[in-house]
Structure 1
Amino acid sequence: MRYFIELSYRGTAYHGWQTQANGISVQVTLEAALTQRLGIPIYVMGSGRTDAGVHAKQQFAHFDVDEPLPLTEAFIYSINCILPEDIAIHTIFPVGPKDHARFSAVSRYYQYHITRQKNAFQTSLTYHFRPHLDVERMNEACEILRQHSNFKSFSKARANVTHFNCRLDFAYWQYTNDDCLTFHIKANRFLWGMVRTIVGTMLEIGQGRMSLDQFEKIILAQDRTVAGRAAPANGLYLIDIGYPAKVLQERTVQALVSAEHGETLSG
C-alpha cells in the first residue's frame, strides 16, 4: 500500500531535503522516525528537493508498506513525538499505487521573505536586507519573467535535468506589512536554485543596479554566469504542492471524519 505524508519543517538545521553524505537531511530524519515507529525499514520520496536552510510550510512525500496503517490522530502524534521539534507531520493518507509525490504534482508555490528591520527571533527565517528597493520596478521584471519559459540562466550549473523549461503561473512582489516584503512564485516545476537566483537578480533591479532590458537579456542568454547572486536560503519557503483532486481525495475524507469527531490530524 502507498501512503502520502503531508509535513512541514524549519530547514535551518538540515542540509536540505534529500539524503546527503555530508550532513543530516529532512528525508533521513523522517525515514528514521517512521522506521522506528513501524518497526520496518521505511524509505520516502519527496515532492521535490529543498536546499540546505530552506523551509517548507507544506511538503509531501510517499512511502510503501505491506499492511494498512492505523491512521488515527494518536498514531500521527506518536510519530511526531519521535521527530525533532522542527519537523511536523500533519497527516498521512492512502493513495493509489501509481500516485507519486514528485511526478503526480502539477504545481509548486514558493515564497521568499525579506525584512528591513533586524529581528532576533527571525534571523534564520527571513533575509534581513536593508537597502531601499523599487518594488514597482521589480514587479515589472516579474511581468517580463512570465513571458518566458526557459530559465537556464537561473539554474545551478550542475543541475541534472533534460530541459530548463518551466510554466510560470504567477510571480510578484508584495508588502505584507511595512517591514516584510514577500516574493510569490508558482510554477509546474522549478530548477535547482531557481527561486533564490531570481530573487537575487531582482534585488539588483530593485536597487537600480540592473535595467529591465538587462534582465531580459539575462533570461535570453540561458547562461547562469550572467545572472545575479542567489539570495540566502533562510528566506525561502515551499508553501504549497498542487495535485489532481483524485490524489488528495482520501486526505479530504479523513479531514471531514476528524472534524465530525472533533479531532485534528495536525502534529
Structure 2
Amino acid sequence: MRYFVELSYFGKAYHGWQNQPNSISVQEVLETNLSKVLRSDVEIVGAGRTDAGVHARQMYAHFDYNKPLDKALLKYKLNSMLPKDIGIAGIFEVRNDAHARFDAISRSYEYHVVQEKDVFSQDLVWLMRQQVDIEKMNEAAAILKTYTSFKSFSRSRTDVKTYNCRIDQAEWKKQDNKLVFHITADRFLRNMVRAIVGTLIDIGQNKYPVSRMHKIIESEDRGEAGASAPAHGLYLTRIVYPENIRLE
C-alpha cells in the first residue's frame, strides 16, 4: 500500500529536503520518526528538493507500507515526535503507482521581501533596503512565461536531463509591508526561483533594462543572471496532483 504525507516545515535548521551524507535534512528526520512509529525501515520519496534554509508551507512525500494504517493516529504520533519545525497536515492512501514527484502537475513558490527591518521576521524574509520598481520587475517576470528553457537560472552542477519548464505564473504583489513574488510551474530546476528573484531585483533596481531578461534566458549561461536571493525568504507553497490518485 502506498501513502502520501502532507507536511510543512521551517527550513532554517535543515540542509534542505533531501538526505545529505553529513548534514541534517527534513527527509532524514521524517524517515527516522516514521520508521520508529511503524517499527519498520521506511523510505520516503519527496515531491522535489528544497535548498538549505528554504521553507515549505505544503510539501508531499510518499512511502510504502504493507498494512492498513490508522492515518489519524499516525499523524498524531508523528506530530508528537517530530521537532517543532516540522508538522504533518495529513496522511492519505493513494494508488500503488502514484508518485509524489512524478505525478505532480504544478508547484508554486513565494518569495518574500521587506524593505524595513523587522526583528520578528528576520528568518522569514529578505531584508532588502534599496527601492525597486515593481512595474519593471513584473514586465521582466512576464517574459519568463514566453520561454521554456531556463538553464540560465539553474545551478551549474546538476544532473537534470532537460532545463525545460512551463511557467504559468510569475508576478510580484504588494502584501501589507512586503513584496511577494508568486511563481507557478510544472517543475523547477535547482536554485531556479532564487536565481530568478535575484535577477528581477537587479532589474527593479535599474541595474539592467527589462529587455535584458531575453538576453539572460537565451544565453543559457548562469553567469549572465543575477545572484541568487537568500534562501530564507523562499517558501514552497502548493503542489497540485490529479484527483484520481487518491483512494479515499
Q: TM-score, normalised by structure 2?
A: 0.98
Q: Which runs of 5+ in 1 are unaligned?
A: 251-267
CA distance in 1, matches of 2:71, 2:24: 28
- Secondary structure of the structure 1 residue equivalent to 2:173: strand
2:212 — aligned with what?
A: 214
Does 113-122 or 9-18 show the bigger shift?
113-122
- Secondary structure of the structure 1 residue equivalent to 2:206: coil
CA distance in 2, matches of 1:76, 1:191: 31
TM-fit CA distance, 1:249: 5.7
1:247 — aligned with what?
A: 245
Instruction: Say whether 1:110 aligns with 2:106.
Output: no
2:138 — aligned with what?
A: 139
Could you tell me which amino acid in structure 2 is paired with residue 230 of structure 1? S
Instruction: Say whether 1:12 aligns with 2:18.
Output: no
- Secondary structure of the structure 1 residue equivalent to 2:245: helix
CA distance in 1, matches of 2:33, 2:118: 33
Equivalent residue runs for 1:1-150 within 5 Å: 1-72=1-72, 74-150=73-149
TM-fit CA distance, 1:248: 3.9
* Percentage of matched positions with identical amino acids: 50
TM-fit CA distance, 1:213: 1.9
2:172 — aligned with what?
A: 173
Could you tell me which amino acid in structure 2 is paired with residue 98 of structure 1? D
CA distance in 2, matches of 1:235, 1:71: 32
1:223 — aligned with what?
A: 221
Q: 1:205 aligns with which of 203, 206, 211?
A: 203
- Secondary structure of the structure 2 residue equivalent to 1:121: helix
Over 4 Å off, 4+ runs = none
Could you tell me which amino acid in structure 2 is paired with residue 66 of structure 1? N
Cα RMSD of the aligned pairs, angstroms, is 0.9
TM-fit CA distance, 1:116: 1.1
1:263 — aligned with what?
A: none
CA distance in 1, matches of 2:209, 2:159: 31
Distance 1:97 1:249, change over 3 A: closer
CA distance in 2, matches of 1:213, 1:34: 49
Does 52-61 or 32-41 show the bigger shift?
32-41
CA distance in 1, matches of 2:205, 2:149: 25
CA distance in 2, matches of 1:181, 1:249: 39
* 8 Å Cα contact 2:93/2:247 also seen in 1: no
Instruction: Say whether 1:158 aligns with 2:163.
Output: no
1:105-132 deviations in whole A, cap 9, x for unaligned? 0100000000112111111111111100
Could you tell me which amino acid in structure 1 is paired with residue 227 of structure 2? R
CA distance in 1, matches of 2:247, 2:113: 35
CA distance in 2, matches of 1:75, 1:5: 10
